[in-house]
Amino acid sequence: MGGIEGQECRMTAEQHDFTLMVFQKTKVLQQIRFSNTTLQKNVSII
pLDDT of residue 12: 83
Phi and psi for 25 in degrees, rounded to 5? -65, -45
Residue numbers in the chain where pLDDT is lower than 70: 1-9, 11, 44-46
pLDDT of residue 25: 92
CA distance 8 to 5: 5
pTM score: 0.48
pLDDT tens, residue by residue, 20-31: 899 999 999 898
Tallying the residues shown for the chain, one arrives at 46
